[in-house]
Amino acid sequence: MNKIFLIIQREYLTRVKKKSFIIMTILGPLLMSTLLIVPVWLAMRDHEEPQKIEVVDDSFLFRDSIPQSKNVKFIYSEITIDKAQEDFYQTDFTGILHIPSNVITGGGAVKFYYKEQPGMAVEEYIKSNIEEMIYNFKLQKSNVDLKTIRNAHTSINLITEKITETGSTERTSTGVQMTMGFILGLLIYMFIFLYGAQVMRGVIEEKTSRIVEVIISSVRPFQLMMGKIIGVALVGLTQFLLWLVLTFSIYTAVQPVLFSGVNKEKLQKEMVKEEVFKQGANLQALKMDKPGLYDNKTYEAFDAFKSIDFVSIILCFLFYFLVGYLMYSALFAAIGAAVDAETDTQQFMLPITIPLVLSFVMAQTIMQEPSSSLAFWFSIIPLTSPVIMMVRLPFGVPIWELALSMSMLVLGFIFTTWLAARIYRTGILMYGKKVSYKELWKWLFYKG
């Protein structure tokens, strides 16, 4: 046991002292903090100069009626489209919107001319408003009362609550749960791939440099393999914990400085207006100035967020990260021991990585139906459970399913470690020979 501890210490200290580890430990929190802060900062900053668009309306139906916004300003002209195009670069207009005379009957296309690409948001804003107005014109032409139609449109506030076995209710939000599940699954997926590959490369480097021959004279192959796997696992766990602490510290330190003196209620409304604008919706029709529209949804999301049991999720994340990593890294170590160069690993990597990639691909489907039979079996099978169970956890998983999944994962880890150790002990000192699956099968049953 003391020898394994020495190997763990060596693997851990060697990697933690590397410049790449230090750089990534600093860059990771900076990037994550940026992702949290920048969207809010962009929402509160002063917008760039709005698009100033000249409207040439040959149909005479849209004069002074297309909704203005902070980002798009419409100026109506009495000149022809040919004259507008001719004088375009002598004006300060950023675009020309030409509405043909037969636009209502669909005989002509609405055209938008520009000097510089305006962006998808502006295009969608113009398109959606013109479509909405044409829709209203056609209804009026058919003597349909627009007020009656508008009154018929009813927006409801759908609140989802889970009833527990004790009879109490908990506020939930599918959007919050899906987001959290996807992020947790992605983290597990990335860490297993990243640090499992580090174990494999480390074994290949020691094998090709013949350092392993010296090490094996003092320790057993199994001790070397386990020491290397656990050492790299601790490196990954250290980096992950540092990312959490540093990200929280940076966000906490920057937020008061960046958002000092900002009206939070106004900021929230501006953010949702910006989002609706990007989707090309009609801001006037949605009546975004209606008080409380955004706040209710925000509070609902916060309530759902607070209802999530973060302690249980973090503990489960640590379990699935460590055990899932240990299982996969044992197989990665076996591959590293079986080959002489990293280029030879491709044929053996495929069977190992397919379950991991499949679980990440299936995560989208699982999030749609977290309690389905497919979700259950994928969260029980050891090779897919680290990712899939983390995707399901925010939605709530029965205790017996969680216990069964953890038990199967531990058994899977024991089996794969035994399997990898049999290959590792033979392959670690094997040089100059192209290994096949048939050869690996023989190694499993070598005695001694």
∠ at Cα 117 (115, 118), nearest 5°?
Answer: 100
Residue 409 pLDDT class (50, 70, 90 cuts): very high
Q: What percent of the chain clears pLDDT 90, i.e. is strictly above it?
A: 7
Lowest-pLDDT choice from 251-255, 394-398, 423-427: 251-255
Residue 275 lies in a domain: no
The tens digit of pLDDT for each residue in 184-223 reads: 888 888 888 888 888 888 888 777 777 777 777 778 877 8
- Within a domain: 163: no
A 10 A CB-CB count for 353 gives: 17
Asked if residues 74 and 116 have their Cβ atoms less than 8 Å apart, the reply is no
- pLDDT over threshold 70, residue 299: no
Question: 315 in a domain, yes or no?
Answer: yes
| Whether residues 215 and 322 fall in one domain | yes
Q: What is the mean pLDDT of the chain?
A: 78
Q: pLDDT: is 402 or 288 the higher one?
A: 402
Say if residues 413 and 382 touch (Cβ distance below 8 Å): yes
pLDDT band per the 50, 70, 90 thresholds, residue 448: low
Q: Across residues 229-253, what is the average pLDDT?
A: 84
pLDDT category of residue 265 using cuts at 50, 70 and 90: low
The answer to whether residue 295 is domain-embedded is no
- Percentage with pLDDT > 70 across the chain: 78
Burial 28-46 (b: 16+ CB within 10 A, else e): bbeebbeeebeebeebbee
Query: How far apart, in whole angstroms, are the C-alpha atoms of residue 129 and residue 419?
Result: 64
C-beta neighbour count of 176 within 10 angstroms: 18
Residue (of 93, 89, 130, 136) closest to 109 by Cα position? 130
- Integer Rg of the chain from CA: 30
Indicate the pLDDT class of residue 145, thresholds 50, 70 and 90: confident
pLDDT above 80 for 412: yes
Q: Which of 150, 184, 200 is the last residue of a domain?
A: 150
Q: Which domain holds residue 28?
A: 2-38+173-267+306-444
pLDDT of residue 315: 87
Residue range 27-40: average pLDDT? 75
pTM of the full structure: 0.64
Is 243 in the same domain as 331? yes
Cα 211 to its chain centre, rounded Å, is 40
Banded pLDDT at 166 (limits 50, 70, 90): low
Instruction: Compute the distance between CA of residue 349 and CA of residue 326 in angstroms, rounded to an integer.
Output: 16
- Boundary of a domain, candidates 150, 185, 208: 150
Q: Is the per-residue pLDDT at 278 higher than 70?
A: no
Please report how many Cα atoms fall inside a 13 Å half-sphere around the Cα of residue 213, on the Cβ side.
6
- In 3D space, the residue among 376, 368, 283, 286 whose CA is nearest the CA of residue 66 turns out to be 283
Most confidently modeled of 138-152, 331-345, 390-404? 390-404
Shared-domain flag, residues 388 and 439: yes
Position 305 confidence tier, pLDDT thresholds 50, 70, 90: low
Classify 96 as helix, strand or coil: strand
Domain membership flag for residue 197:
yes
- Per-residue pLDDT for 140 more than 70? yes
Between vectors from CA 404 to CA 402 and to CA 410, what angle results, nearest 5°? 100
Cα 347 from Cα 335, distance rounded (Å): 10
Higher pLDDT, 248 or 285: 248
Neighbours of 200 (CB within 10 A): 24
Separation of alpha carbons 350 and 128, rounded Å: 47
| pLDDT for res 294 | 41
Do 50 and 271 form a contact (C-beta atoms < 8 A)?
Answer: no
Using 50, 70 and 90 to split pLDDT, how confident is the model at 301?
low
> Are residue 92 and residue 28 in the same domain, yes or no?
no
For residue 377, what pLDDT is reported? 92
373 and 419 together in one domain: yes
pLDDT at 411: 93
C-beta neighbour count of 334 within 10 angstroms: 29
**10 Cβ contact partners less than 8 Å away, ≥ 6 residues apart:** 227, 231
Q: With cut-offs at 50, 70 and 90, classify the pLDDT of residue 295.
A: very low
Do the strands 169-172 and 160-163 form a parallel or antiparallel pair, or are they unpaired? antiparallel
Based on the fold, state whether residues 319 and 364 are members of the same structural domain: yes
Claim to verify: residue 106 and residue 178 sit in the same structural domain: no
Banded pLDDT at 284 (limits 50, 70, 90): very low
Write out 76-140 in H/E/C secondary structure. ECCCCHHHHHHCHHHCCCCEEEEECCCCCCCCCCCEEEECCCCCHHHHHHHHHHHHHHHHHHHHH
Tell which wins on pLDDT, 432 or 93: 93
| Sign of the four-CA dihedral 422, 423, 429, 432 | positive
Segment 1-9 shows an average pLDDT of: 82
Quick check: 64 and 76 in contact, CB under 8 A?
yes
Question: For residue 57, what are its two tokens?
Answer: 């309306």
For residue 94, what is the domain's CATH number?
Answer: 3.40.190.10
Check whether residue 366 and residue 438 sit in a common domain. yes
Q: Is 254 inside any structural domain?
A: yes
Number of domains composing the chain: 2
Instruction: Check residue 407 and give its pLDDT.
Output: 94
**Contact yes or no for 391/399 (Cβ under 8 A):** no
Helix locations, 64-119, DSSP H:
81-86
Q: How far apart are the C-alpha atoms of 243 and 23, rounded to whole Å?
A: 12
111 and 215 part of one domain: no
85 with 107, same domain: the answer is yes
pLDDT at residue 33 above 90? Answer: no
Of the two residues 167 and 121, the one the predictor is more confident about is 121
Helices then strands, counting H and E runs in the chain, come out as 17, 6
Q: Considering the domain boundaries, does residue 162 fall inside one?
A: no
Q: Give the mean pLDDT of 168-174.
A: 59
The upper half-sphere exposure of residue 107, i.e. CA atoms within 13 Å in the direction of its Cβ, equals 7
Please name the residue ranges forming H helices in 259-345.
264-278, 283-286, 293-307, 310-338
**78 with 100, same domain?**
yes
- Alpha carbon distance 236, 199 (integer Å): 11
Assess whether 29 and 82 both reside in one domain.
no
